Structure 1
Amino acid sequence: MAKMIITASYLSLNGTDLSAYANSIELSIEVDEKEVTTFASGGWKEVLGGLKSGTLAIEFKQDVAASALDSIMWPLLGTVVTFEVRLTNAAVGTSNPKATGSVLIKEWSPIAGGVGDVAEVKVSFPTSGAVTRATS
């Protein structure tokens, strides 16, 4: 089994490559659990998968310079935008699949941190609609 160290992931929001600002990306997908147990279930709980949803969590190194991260993200607040993530910034392929979809930019922290801290922004955006995985 191959092992991998994440060193150069790819992140795009609204068609803009934001990889240079991000140091942590996590795309998690889940399915609602719906109980369908009946008297005929033999004393065992039965479940089916319901609606799918996802979350794109990102940790950014903040940059408030003109045309930098904060000026890119601020106008997106409250909108649904496309995203693409990959484990590496290499070309998409069978060894480097991409995940794409849309997310709601529901939060943004232009200022966060304390004395001596690195200026960072930690956000979590819910997916909107289908998330796809592709190798081409």
Structure 2
Amino acid sequence: MATLVLLNEFVELNAVNSSGWAKSGALAMEAAALDASVFGDGWTKNTAGLKSGTLTIEFLDDFAASQLDATLWPLFGTVVPFKLRPDAGAVSTSNPQYSGNVLIAQHNVGGSLGELAGKSLSFPLSGAVARATS
């Protein structure tokens, strides 16, 4: 069994490589479980309903011109494309790329005294996610 330490994850929002600001990136997806049980069934029968998900990225903030805050702020309230893969290297069977669209529904500013300026943002998916291996 191979193991992977994330040292160079690739995170892209709206065609901008955001990896240099990101500390973590996670894509969580799920399908709603709909109860399809009827009288006489001894067990619950589930069928998949609508799929949904969230892209969560933890950023270190940068307020300089053309940096993170200036890049994210104009996107607030819009749907933009994203790409995420375990490593910044080429897309392959061992480095799959997940892509789709997210709603930039959050923008946070601030933090705690004596800590790095940063933000953890969760963006809901908007439509299907694709997985590419080449």
Q: Shorter-chain TM-score: what band? A: over 0.9
**Residue-by-residue CA offset, 1:8-31 (whole Å, 9 max, x unaligned):** 000000000000000011100000
Q: CA deviation at 1:112?
A: 1.8
The equivalent residue for 1:29 is 29
Alignment correspondent of 2:50 = 51
- 2:67 corresponds in structure 1 to 68
Distance in 2 separating the partners of 1:68 and 1:3: 33
Counterpart pick for 1:128 among 120, 126, 130? 126
Secondary structure, counterpart of 2:40 in structure 1: helix
TM-score normalised by the chain length of structure 2: 0.98
What is the aligned-residue RMSD (CA, Å)? 0.6
| 1:39 positional shift | 1.1
SS at match of 1:40: coil
Aligned AA for 1:6?
L
2:116 counterpart residue number:
118
Separation in 2 of the partners of 1:124 and 1:56? 6
Unaligned runs of 5+ in 2: none
For 1:55 and 1:115, locate their aligned partners in 2 and report how far apart those are by CA, in whole Å. Answer: 29
Report Cα offsets for 1:102-128 as digits up to 9, x if no partner.
00000101x221110110111000000
In structure 2, what residue type is equivalent to 1:106?
Answer: A
Shift of 1:40: 2.7
Determine if the alignment matches structure 1 residue 79 to structure 2 residue 78. yes
Percent identity over paired residues: 46
Unaligned residue ranges in structure 1 (runs of 5+): none
Aligned to 2:16: 16
How many pairs are equivalent? Answer: 134
1:68-93 C-alpha deviation (Å, 9 max, x unpaired)? 00000000000000000000001001
Question: 2:112 aligned with 1:101, yes or no?
Answer: no
